[in-house]
Structure 1
C-alpha cells in the first residue's frame, strides 16, 4: 500500500535548512523573547496528515517567504477578510459536537499527495483518523487508495517523532484534538493563541525568539487548530481573528478542493518554502480543507491537498460514526 501520510524526509530537511538560514539573518531584528516555559504543545497532525508537514508552516520572525501567484484572472469581488467573516457566519450555524476526554475525534478526508515536492505522480487517497479528544491516547489512522474502495489498511498507531532523533518515536500522547477550551471572543482568542503557540519542534540551533516572536505566529497556531475539532462559537472567533490580521489574500481563478468541490482559496501568511491555502465552499463558505504548494527556483507547484469529508465524535478507534 502506498504510504501517504508523510512527506519525504529530505523535503522536510530542506525546509528546516531554509528556516535556519532565515532565522539567522532575522535574529537581531526581532524583539521580545518568547519564554519556552509559557508554551503548551499542540500536535497539528503533521504525522497524522503529513500532506501538511509541520516544516512548511514555520513562522520566521515576521518575514513571509512566499510567492504570490494569483493568476491572470481578475481577483474575486470579496476580500480575504470578507470571506473569512462569511466563514465565521457559516461556522456559527454548524451543530456543536461535544466530547468526553476518553472519546475520539473522527475525521475522514480525501487527500492528493506526491512523494517529491515538485515532480512525480500524484496519489489520491482516503484517510480516516481517530484522535484522542482529551489527549489521553495515541492517534490511530487507516487509509486506502481512492481507486480501491475495499483496500483499507489496518489501523496504525501514530506517535510523534523525537526531534533529537527523527528515526525514533516518542511515547507521549498528543494534545487534545477537541479544542473545547478556546475562547469565543476574537480578542481573547488572539491573546490565547499568542500566549500558547503551536510547538514547531525547531531544529537545533534555531533562534526561538525570532520564530515565536514573529508577527504571523498567531496565524500558524490558528491553522493548527483546524486539524482537530473547534466548537462553532470558537471557530467563528478563529475566522474573525484571521480576518483582522493582515497578510491573507484571495487567490483568483477557479479552485476545487481535493474532493472536487468548488472552493475559494485564502492564502495565509507565515509560511517558509511554500504556501498553505485554506479552502472554503464557494457558496456556503464552510471550511473544506487546505492545500500546500512548494516554491523551488521561483516556480510554485502543488505538493498536497486534503478535503474534510466528515467529522464526528466516537468512542473508540476504528468506530464509524
Structure 2
C-alpha cells in the first residue's frame, strides 16, 4: 500500500461518522452467528452480495476496521453469559419452550388452594403460599427471616397485619389478587394483546417493557399449559430478543437464556433448560419448586 492509498483510507475514516449501537447490533449478530457456525464446523452458505457490494481494494482495510469497530463498540453480551445471537434463533428457543409447556401435567386448582413457590436468588431462599383466588391469607418466608402474611381480600377488605398477627378491627380497601387466572389467553396473538393492556405493561410500544410484562406474568401467575405456551409464543414476537448461551440461573443450573432489549443496560432474561426447554427462572430468581397445596405451610 502506498502513501496515497493510506491517505485515502484516513480521509475516508475521518469523514465517516461512527454508527450507534442500534445500527451495529444486526451486523454484530450476523458475525457472531457465522463465528459460531464455523466453530461447529458448519459455516453458513455464502451469500451473493452483488456488484454494489464490490469494494475497491483500498476500501477493504476500511471495511475490516469497521467490522473491528462493531466488535469493539458493542458489548459482548447485553445481560451476561455467552454472546447474544440472532433473534430468529431466540424465537425458535421460545417455540421449543412453548412445546415443552404443553407437555407439562396440569390439574386445575380449587379456589381455596394455594400456589407454593420455592425460589433462590443471591440473597437466599424464598418461599411463598399464594391464594389461588386471592381471598385467603397467604404466607411468605425469605432469607431466614420471620414469615410474613399475604392478607386475602374478602368483600373488598383485607386485614392489616403488624408482624405475624392482624391488628384487631383494622382493614384496608382491596381487590382480590388471584395467583391463578383460568381464562388467560391461549393463543399468541390474544396473549400479546393481553400483555399490551393498561396495567400489564408500562409501555406497549417498548420491547423492554413488553419483556418486563412477560417476566411478571410468568413469575406471578400459575397458568394452564396452553396459556404458558401462548406466553412464550407471544414473547417470540417481541422485536430484538436474542439468545444468550452458556448461562446459569441463580442456583447454578446451566441453561439457555432469552434476553430482552434494554435501553439502560438493565438485564432482563428468561432462562430455560438446555435440553428440555423447561422454564428455570430469570437472571434474578431461580424457580426450584412450583406446585398446588391445600393449606399454608404445606409442602408438595
Which category of TM-score, normalised to the shorter sequence, fits these structures?
A: 0.5 to 0.7
Q: Identify if the C-alpha distance between structure 1 residues 76 and 193 changes in structure 2 by more than 3 Å, giving closer, same or farther.
A: closer
Give the counterpart of 1:312 among 288, 291, 295.
291
Q: 2:215 matched to 1:236? A: no
Question: 1:196: how far off?
Answer: 4.9
| 1:79 aligned residue | 89
| 1:136 aligned residue | 135
Answer 1 or 2: higher relative contact order, Cα 8 Å, separation at least 6: 1
Question: 1:105: how far off?
Answer: 0.7
Query: Which is greater in Rg?
Result: 2
- For structure 2, list consecutive stretches of 5 or more residues without a partner in the other structure: 1-73, 152-170
CA contact (8 A) 1:155 1:318 kept: no
Question: 1:193: how far off?
Answer: 2.2
- For structure 1, list consecutive stretches of 5 or more residues without a partner in the other structure: 1-65, 113-122, 145-151, 160-168, 200-210, 292-304
| 2:108 aligned residue | 98
Give the counterpart of 2:240 among 242, 247, 253.
247
Q: 2:260 matched to 1:268? A: yes
Question: 1:222: how far off?
Answer: 2.1
Aligned counterparts, 1:216-231, within 5 A:
216=207, 217-227=209-219, 228-231=221-224
TM-score (norm 1): 0.56
| 2:251 aligned residue | 259
Q: Deviations over 1:283-318 (max 9, x none)?
A: 111110001xxxxxxxxxxxxx21111111112221
CA contact (8 A) 2:81 2:247 kept: no
Aligned counterparts of 1:308 and 1:173: Cα–Cα separation in 2 = 27
CA contact (8 A) 1:85 1:243 kept: yes
Q: Deviations over 1:99-137 (max 9, x none)?
A: 12222111011211xxxxxxxxxx3x1111111111213
Q: Which structure has greater helix proportion?
A: 2
Question: 1:272: how far off?
Answer: 5.0
Q: Identify if the C-alpha distance between structure 1 residues 270 and 130 changes in structure 2 by more than 3 Å, giving closer, same or farther.
A: farther
Q: Identify if the C-alpha distance between structure 1 residues 75 and 156 changes in structure 2 by more than 3 Å, giving closer, same or farther.
A: closer
Aligned counterparts of 1:93 and 1:87: Cα–Cα separation in 2 = 10
| 1:198 aligned residue | 200
Aligned counterparts of 1:134 and 1:265: Cα–Cα separation in 2 = 32
Aligned counterparts of 1:179 and 1:221: Cα–Cα separation in 2 = 16
Q: Identify if the C-alpha distance between structure 1 residues 107 and 271 changes in structure 2 by more than 3 Å, giving closer, same or farther.
A: farther
Q: 2:212 matched to 1:212? A: no
Question: 1:188: how far off?
Answer: 1.5
Aligned counterparts of 2:291 and 2:118: Cα–Cα separation in 1 = 9
Which stretch shows the higher mean deviation, 135-144 or 305-314? 135-144
Question: 1:86: how far off?
Answer: 0.7
Aligned counterparts of 2:141 and 2:113: Cα–Cα separation in 1 = 18
Aligned counterparts of 2:75 and 2:173: Cα–Cα separation in 1 = 38
Alignment RMSD, CA only? 2.9
Aligned counterparts of 1:129 and 1:72: Cα–Cα separation in 2 = 29
Q: Identify if the C-alpha distance between structure 1 residues 309 and 212 changes in structure 2 by more than 3 Å, giving closer, same or farther.
A: same
Does the residue aligned with 2:226 lie in a helix, a strand or coil? helix
Give the count of matched residue pairs. 204
Question: 1:179: how far off?
Answer: 2.9
Question: 1:269: how far off?
Answer: 3.2
